[in-house]
Amino acid sequence: MTSGASVIIDPRYRGPPDSGNGGYVCGVVSAAAGVPVAVRLKRPPPLNVPLELAEAAGVLRLMQGDEVIAEARPDPVDIDVPSPPAHAEAVAASLGYMGFVEHVFPTCFVCGPRRPAGDGLRIFAGSLGDRRMVAAPWMPDESLAGPDGMVRPEFLWAALDCPGYFATPLAGRMALLGELAAAISRPVRVGEPCVVLGWRRHAEGRKHFVGTAVFGPGGELLARAAATWIELKSGPDD
């Protein structure tokens, strides 16, 4: 694990207007861990301020001073992944993306419809009918590439974030990513036409458990994730 490094979350990578997209931030922490991990978000990740990666007793944390923003623990990401829809089916599903009509965070880096191409990921996951799943096409652009020309891992983590939210009954309501565990099977090429899938697993009270995956052009599984979304309390009696 890497510790002692400084991290600054650029405002481009925001989810809510004043904090980082959860999947992106979890991906940054995962890259520092160097092993498959689940990253739990403890606080909204602040933008444009120095944060520090610190390791203690085998736990890697993202810190703002003495405050824990996120922490990582080993996780093999053992999750069953459904068969992917065809690319054309994902395109058709995305046309019904509910975020086009109403979106809690319309400038989200991953799923915000107000982000132009080449700025946001523009992953608009729409329902696949009665399959309790959502899907969207995604073609990563050049701004997401690392030195090797492949999509940087933190952006794959970001792509695995928001489709899970839209697979839950929470879609259209206030909820935040609580935990994300992701595994990348192979790097994704810039310009590679992908399909992103999200599906509902189960719920416990205000916690909703989902899975997400990214597939390549031939249906090859490129990355998978298990996530927990938490519905925010709407009042003092909730």
Q: Give dist(CA 45, CA 52) in Å, integer.
A: 12
Q: Give dist(CA 132, CA 73) in Å, integer.
A: 29
Burial class (CB in 10 A: 0-12, 13-18, 19+), 58: exposed
The tens place of each residue's pLDDT in the chain, 238 residues long, gives 566 789 999 999 999 999 999 999 999 999 999 888 999 999 999 999 999 999 988 899 999 999 999 999 999 999 999 999 999 999 999 999 999 999 999 999 999 999 999 999 999 999 998 778 999 999 999 999 999 999 999 999 999 999 999 999 988 888 999 999 999 999 999 999 999 999 999 999 999 999 999 999 999 999 999 999 999 876 444 4
Per-position b or e across 133-150, b if 16+ CB within 10 A of its CB: bbbbbbebbeebbeeeeb
Residue for token pair 């999947």: 23
Alpha helices in the chain (DSSP H): 22-33, 87-94, 153-159, 162-166
Per-position b or e across 214-230, b if 16+ CB within 10 A of its CB: bbbeeeebbbbbbbbbb
CA distances to 144, 150, 152, 189, 216 from 192, in Å: 12, 10, 14, 5, 7
> Is the full-model pTM beyond 0.85?
yes
Full set of structural domains in the chain with CATH: 6-74 (3.10.129.10), 87-231 (3.10.129.10)
Residue 109 and residue 47 in contact, taking contact as beta carbons nearer than 8 Å? no
Kindly state the tokens that stand for 131.
């399959």
